[in-house]
Amino acid sequence: VDGASQRNFLQQRSRGHWPLYDSADLGFRNYWYPAMFSRGLKKKPIKVKLLGDDLLFVRQGGKVFALEDRCAHRGVPLSLGRCDFQGTWTCRYHGWVYDVSSGRLVAALTDGPDSPIVGKVAVRTYPVEERAGILWVWMGEGKPVAIEEDIPSEVIDPKNTVIGTFRLVKGDWRYAAENGYDEGHFKYLHRDSLWARFYLRAKFPAWSLHKDSMCEIEGQSGWLTREVTKVVMKDEYPGLGSWPKDEWWRTRIDKALVSIRLPGILRVSWPDRPVVDFEWYVPVDKGYYLYGQIVVVKGLTTVGRRLLYAKYWLIWRWLWHGEFNGQDIEMVQATPVSAPERLYRPDASIVAWRKLCEQTARGVKDRAQTLTNREGKL
C-alpha cells in the first residue's frame, strides 16, 4: 500500500463511517445505567444529570424512585421540593403533589381538594433498581430489558465484593470508552505511573500484536476482547536505539485481558488475580461523563472483605483509580472534539468498538430512521 492510499484508508475508517456513533454524544438510551452507590441516597433526595436529562432520586419507605426533575406547572426543579405525604413529592413553588411511582399529579394544594388540574398531568418517572449496592436507572423507551442483560454477571453475583468510585469528569464519554479499549496507550502513557512501577511492579511490553477477533463481536454477551498474539518486551528502533529502559524492580509481566461492551462498559481481568476491574462511561451532558470505577473481588471471607475495604480506601483509591486512571482522564480531556485523526495499527481496537456501537446498539434502528429523515440520507 503506498502512502496516499493508506492515508485514504485510515481517513475513511476514522471519519464519516459511524454516523450513529458520531451523533451519540448523549449516549444510547435503551440501556440500564449506573447512577450512584445506593448508600449515597439516604433521606435527603439527590439530583443528578444523566444522558442530558435532569433526574431526582428519592428514597421512600425503603424503595428508590427517580422522577424527571421538572415540575409540570412552571418547570421549577422538583429537587427544591419536599415530601409532605408518604409516597409523594411536593413542588416547592405552588405545592403540586406528585405520586413518586407513577409521576401523576395527585393534588394541587393551593387550589383546594377539588382542583380540576388533578389527574390531568404527570411528570416522567424512570424505572430504578438497586443491585450490587448501586442504583441503576432505565431512561430508554418502552419496557426496560431485564437488568441482568446490562450488568455483567460478576458485578451482580452476591458472593463477590464490589467496591469503587463514581466521579464526574470533563470529557466526551466516547473518548473515555475509546481510551479504555485503546490498545496502544497503556504501554506508553501508564508506563511511568507509580501504580504500575512500584505497586504492581508490572512490566509493560514495548509493543504487541492482537488477533483480528478484536474486530468481531463475541457471542451473545456482546463483549469485544483484545487477544494478544505476539508480545515484544523490548525492541530496537532504527536510528534511535532500544526502548524501553530496564527497570530491575519490575518483575511481573502484565497479562491484562481487556474487553468492552455496550453501552460503554470496560472489563479488565488478570489470569493470576481474583480481581476484575470494570469501568462505566455514562454520558451526563455534552462534554461530561460519569466515570464509574468498580472493582469486583471474588471469593472473600468476611475478614478478607474488611481488609479489601481498608486496602481500597488507603491505597487503590489513590494510586489505581486516582493516579493511574488520572492519566487516562487527562488524555480524554486533552482530546479535541472532532479532531482530524490518522489511526495506526493498534487502533483496530478503537475501530472495532465504533463498529460495535454502530451496528449493535439497542435502539439504533429508530435512530437510523431519525437520521435518515433529518439528513435525507444515511
Site string for ligand FES, 56-85 (x = CB under 6 A): ---------------x-xx-x---------
Note whether 68 binds Fe ion by CB under 5 A: no
Q: Are 281 and 180 in contact (CB under 8 A)?
A: yes
Closest CA to 174 of 358, 47, 308: 358
Pick what 94 binds: Fe ion, ligand FES, none; C-beta below 5 to 8 Å, kind-dependent.
ligand FES
Q: How far is the CB of 375 from ligand FES (least distance, A)?
A: 38
Pick what 93 binds: Fe ion, ligand FES, none; C-beta below 5 to 8 Å, kind-dependent.
ligand FES
Nearer to Fe ion, 4 or 334 (CB): 334
Q: 139: number of CA atoms within 13 Å, CB side?
A: 26
Q: How far is the CB of 179 from Fe ion (least distance, A)?
A: 6
Closest CA to 260 of 222, 216, 298: 222
Q: How far is the CB of 102 from ligand FES (least distance, A)?
A: 17
SS3 217: coil
Among residue numbers 77 through 136, which ones bind ligand FES (CB under 6 A)?
Answer: 91, 93-94, 96
**Among all residues, whose Cβ is closest to Fe ion?**
328
Cell numbers at 62, concatenated: 425503603
Cell numbers at 259, concatenated: 474487553
Q: How far is the CB of 125 from ligand FES (least distance, A)?
A: 16
H runs (alpha helix) in the chain: 3-14, 19-22, 153-156, 173-181, 194, 302-311, 317-318, 325-334, 348-360, 364-375
Helix (H) or strand (E) holding 232: strand 228-232
Nearer to ligand FES, 76 or 275 (CB): 76
Nearer to ligand FES, 97 or 276 (CB): 97
**DSSP category for residue 43:** S
Cell numbers at 285, concatenated: 451532558
User: 138 - beta bridge partners?
Assistant: 32
Pick what 96 binds: Fe ion, ligand FES, none; C-beta below 5 to 8 Å, kind-dependent.
ligand FES
Cell numbers at 196, concatenated: 504500575
Pick what 197 binds: Fe ion, ligand FES, none; C-beta below 5 to 8 Å, kind-dependent.
none
Pick what 58 binds: Fe ion, ligand FES, none; C-beta below 5 to 8 Å, kind-dependent.
none
Closest CA to 162 of 135, 138, 134: 134
Note whether 279 binds Fe ion by CB under 5 A: no
Q: Contacts with ligand FES: how many residues (CB under 6 A)?
A: 8
Q: How far is the CB of 114 from ligand FES (least distance, A)?
A: 17
Cell numbers at 254, concatenated: 502484565
Q: How far is the CB of 60 from ligand FES (least distance, A)?
A: 19
Nearer to ligand FES, 92 or 317 (CB): 92
Pick what 328 binds: Fe ion, ligand FES, none; C-beta below 5 to 8 Å, kind-dependent.
Fe ion
Note whether 328 binds Fe ion by CB under 5 A: yes
SS3 128: strand
Pick what 71 binds: Fe ion, ligand FES, none; C-beta below 5 to 8 Å, kind-dependent.
ligand FES
Place of cell 501504580: 195
Closest CA to 206 of 173, 234, 179, 238: 234
SS3 259: strand
**Distances from the Cα of 248 to the Cα of 196, 201, 324, 344, angstroms:** 13, 9, 21, 31
Closest CA to 186 of 166, 207, 167: 207
Nearer to ligand FES, 54 or 130 (CB): 54
Binding residues (CB under 5 A) for Fe ion: these are 328
Binding residues (CB under 6 A) for ligand FES: these are 71, 73-74, 76, 91, 93-94, 96
